[in-house]
A and B are shown apart, each in its own frame.
Chain A
Amino acid sequence: MQELLTQNFFELFGLSPGFSLDVGELTQRYRELQQVVHPDRFATASSQERRLSMQCATHVNEAFQTLKHPLSRARYLLEMRGVAVDQSTSLPAEFLMEQMTLREQLEELSGQPEPLLALMQLRDDLGRRGSDLQQSFADLLGLDDNMSALQVFNKMQFIYRLQQELDAQEEHLAG
């Protein structure tokens, strides 16, 4: 348990740390770990073992969620390198202009003749931007350029927030 809690999340799943990661493999290891630590494996055990199992299963779930999603994985990797993630970095004016344009598109969706179609196009656009950013994040991390990676991470956060608002819009448009 002590061991499990002090390992970093990559070690926990027996994976080498890095942004590029095979989610299928991660999922497989996650299931194997839950097979042995989940509280259902300890239904007749002592209350102490049940507590321990709940702690472990909780930890394994957190580790899985963190590594599964690119944004939280990126944040975790920066933190592992001692980068203060929540400091604000100045983003290039060009990027911020793009963001404003995207946001306008998002806000004007419901006024479009075919809002759901426009929404799908915007979703694809954001998806492309997101994966471009992920690629450059992986590259910069490989070069140990942490500060540039942090800037890319901040851009990823912008895109992610827009995607979330898009989901909310879709729920709204679908009634």
Chain B
Amino acid sequence: MALLQISEPGQTPEPHQQRRAAGIDLGTTNSLVATVRNGKSEALVDEQGWQLLPSVVRYHDNGSVSVGYEAQRAAVDDAQNTIVSVKRLMGRGKVDIQDSGYGFAEGDSPVPRIHTVGGDVTAVEVSAEILKRLEQRARQQLGGALDGVVITVPAYFDDAQRQATKDAAKLAGLNVMRLLNEPTAAAVAYGLDQKDEGVYAIYDLGGGTFDISILRFSRGVFEVMATAGDSALGGDDLDEAVSDWIMQQAGIEDDGDHRTRRYLMRSARAAKEALTNELEVRLDVERPEGGCWHGSLSREQFNKLVSPLVSKTLLPCQRALRDAGLEKTDIQEVVMVGGSTRVPYVRERVGEFFACRPHVDIDPDRVVAIGAAIQADVLVGNGQHDDMLLLDVIPLSLGIETMGGLVEKIVPRNTTIPVSKAQDFTTYKDGQTALSVHIVQGERELIGDCRSLARFELHGIPPMAAGAARIRVIYQVDADGLLSVTAREATTGIESHIDIKPSYGLSDNEIEQMLSDSIAHAEDDVSSRKLREQQVEAARTLEAITAALAADGQRLLDENERRLIERAMDDLQAVQQGDDVARIKQACQAVEQAGAEFAQRRMNDSIRQALAGHKLDEFKT
């Protein structure tokens, strides 16, 4: 008889030295973390057995922070110090979020700081608290630190919102392997890649964001054809419509009081949720001046209240179809994601629009985290589904400001990423040595109607006659949808220095400062963190090149070449555990340099193999 293997709770046996990877859904209302264990994906629970972690963070005057259900209970009574729906504030400037009800600290930074009794905090720091809590949960249950995570973002998030999410992960000490679009994650969870070929629409209405994505699947490859949406439209807005109606019915004045608003929003949300199964719901609402209002809300009335909002989601659906070059009838199935798609009226209208019954088989709250966990498992190299590939697009066009406040598009929306574009600039004055460029994201023609991403200045252009310098600026968008910029003067080859000022993002210095602040609490210091980071990087480099040598060393390198790489590896191994950051870094770079040619050969080789099936007569021209 086979013996059953029993392990302590939270300590999974790891027979194949599986790496620890997790998928995180950082949601507007709730967040959760999931992983793949023994070939099955599952959401992880906390000590009380809850999977969902409410995305609520409360700051206390003694400097401590509570997250989740505990914080949620204080959301009404301690509204000013308890941050809800922080996702709506990510990557946003003061003007965008003025009416969110929080107190904001004065300051020069373009990133708003919410004033709390525990200190002033940015949305990035608040999100980092949620991530830390989820990381802790995963670490405890998987029996060690995570090797890497995949964090999901709405497909329609712009560069600033994505960067803010990545910054939050950095603050929480997570190694982000990929920012994954939520609809794509949902498609992965549904296993749509297992089907032969097909075109699907993913309708994702979350707590604060709306996305529609059109995806094409073909044997393991998920190709996003088009995406559209509204990054400030979600379940919160349905609640607000109901809350406004209650105020009107109950004769409650809107005096901008944060506590009353939170209270009404909570009642509205409860009513909305009850109406998923009921046709009518009773309402008992306390008036701020005392006394109680009793009333009821029918599903019919509710549908009428939210109808304009639901209609607002159908316009992007139309646009996404047009961008994908498709008709409604080309869509095979529609998958519903996000808690707000529980509302029967939403399902009804979406089904009507696409003329098919929407898929609702997987719990809309969990499907995104499950998909992210599967992708994280693939990326970390645990070997399942390893032919799965996700090709995402940039959701909003990138452009730069030109004369007269107009926008010149550089990368149009729905271009598959990674993508890069080059652009040539020249000087308009004799001896000009600097140049400034303003980058925006959006579809409108006027600069003021698009989102400002960053302004950058090029310095060190060699002085020449006006119009003689040729400065080539290269915009690179990576697989996470994040933009980076480099520039070079073409006639002299001088690399220009670029200062990037993110319009609504944190600068590298600010992040460093936050990191050292948070570490100060943990009685650690910056230099030991830097050392640890460099040691991890060294270990990663060694591991990667060892695996590469084992796979292709014999085939692609001669004795001499191999010896040079191995010597550099030995040098790195010798200093790896020491405490000299600079030396480890240098040795890392030496290994990379020694392996550069080898890396290129491997890449060429795999490209050749990929095309090997087709071949020779076709190559001859």
Contact = CB atoms under 8 A, between A and B. Distances in A.
Interface of A: 1-4, 10-11, 13-17, 29, 31-41, 43-49, 52-54, 56-58, 61-62, 64-65, 167, 170-171, 174-175
B599 A48 contact: yes
Contacts of A1: 600, 603-604
A175 B604 CA distance: 49
Nearest to A33: B610
25 contacts: A1-B600, A1-B604, A3-B604, A4-B604, A11-B619, A34-B221, A34-B391, A35-B221, A36-B606, A36-B607, A36-B609, A38-B389, A40-B378, A43-B148, A44-B147, A44-B148, A44-B544, A46-B599, A47-B537, A49-B603, A54-B418, A58-B418, A61-B416, A62-B420, A64-B416
Highest count of chain A CB atoms <10 Å: which of B147, B218, B609, B618: B618
B541 A39 contact: no
A46 B479 contact: no
Contact of B416 (A36, A44, A56, A65): A65
Contacts of B380: 43-44
B478 A54 contact: yes
Given A1-B600, A43-B177, A37 B606 contact: yes
Contacts of B378: 40
B289 to A, nearest CB: 43
A57 B418 contact: yes
Interface of B: 147-148, 177-178, 218, 220-221, 223, 315, 318-319, 322, 378-381, 387, 389-391, 415-420, 476, 478-479, 537, 540-541, 543-545, 548, 591-592, 595-596, 599-600, 602-604, 606-607, 609-611, 613-615, 618-621
A4 to B, nearest CB: 6
Given A40-B379, A40-B390, 10 more contacts: A15-B618, A16-B621, A36-B609, A38-B391, A46-B592, A46-B595, A48-B599, A49-B599, A57-B479, A175-B315
A64 B537 CA distance: 34
Contacts of A53: 603
B610 A36 contact: yes
Highest count of chain B CB atoms <10 Å: which of A16, A41, A44: A44
Nearest to A4: B607
B603 A56 contact: yes
Nearest to A17: B621
Contacts of B615: 14
B603 A54 contact: no
Contacts of A29: 611, 614
Given A43-B177, A43-B178, A49-B599, A38 B606 contact: no
Given A1-B604, A40-B379, A58 B610 contact: no
Contacts of A36: 606-607, 609-610
Contacts of B322: 167, 170-171
Nearest to B319: A171
B415 A65 contact: yes
B592 A47 contact: yes
Nearest to A1: B600
A52 B603 CA distance: 8
A54 B607 CA distance: 14
B419 A58 contact: yes
A170 B599 CA distance: 49
B592 A14 contact: no
A62 B319 CA distance: 24
A11 B616 CA distance: 11
Contacts of A37: 603, 606-607
Given A46-B595, A54-B478, A58-B420, A35 B387 contact: yes
A6 to B, nearest CB: 11
Nearest to A3: B604
A41 B385 CA distance: 12
Contacts of B548: 45, 49
A62 B419 contact: yes
A14 B419 contact: no
Nearest to B219: A31
